[in-house]
Amino acid sequence: MTYLNKLTPGQTARVVGYSEDNPVTRRLTELGLIPGRQVKYLRDAPLKDPLQLQVGTSSLGVRHSEASLITVELES
């Protein structure tokens, strides 16, 4: 297992959970980043913040600090 912010563009992973329970992680859950959900890391912004993710049919921009709270498992 690793954290979402450690992936490289193009990698796909499955959300395992969160390292903390706070308002930020609850908001990310509301946006669809729930355990068991597949996430594709699309690209970085020029200064590495935010990350662009694909979750289902949605595209999300997530701060690097927020992505460091999301535990994921790489998919082959």
Residue range 15-34, pLDDT digits in tens? 999 998 899 999 999 999 99
Q: Where are the domains of the chain?
A: 2-74
Percentage, residues of the chain above pLDDT 70: 100
Give the span between the Cα atoms of 57 and 22, in whole angstroms: 26
Type and span of the H or E element at 25 = helix 23-30
- Count of beta carbons in the 10 Å neighbourhood of residue 28: 21
pTM of structure: 0.87
CA pair distance 26, 49, nearest whole angstrom: 20
CATH architecture of the domain formed by 2-74: Roll (2.30)
Residue 47 pLDDT more than 90? no
Digit-coded pLDDT (tens) for 55-69: 999 999 999 999 999
- Average pLDDT of the segment spanning 2-24: 94
CA distances from 11 to 20, 22, 24 (A): 24, 27, 23
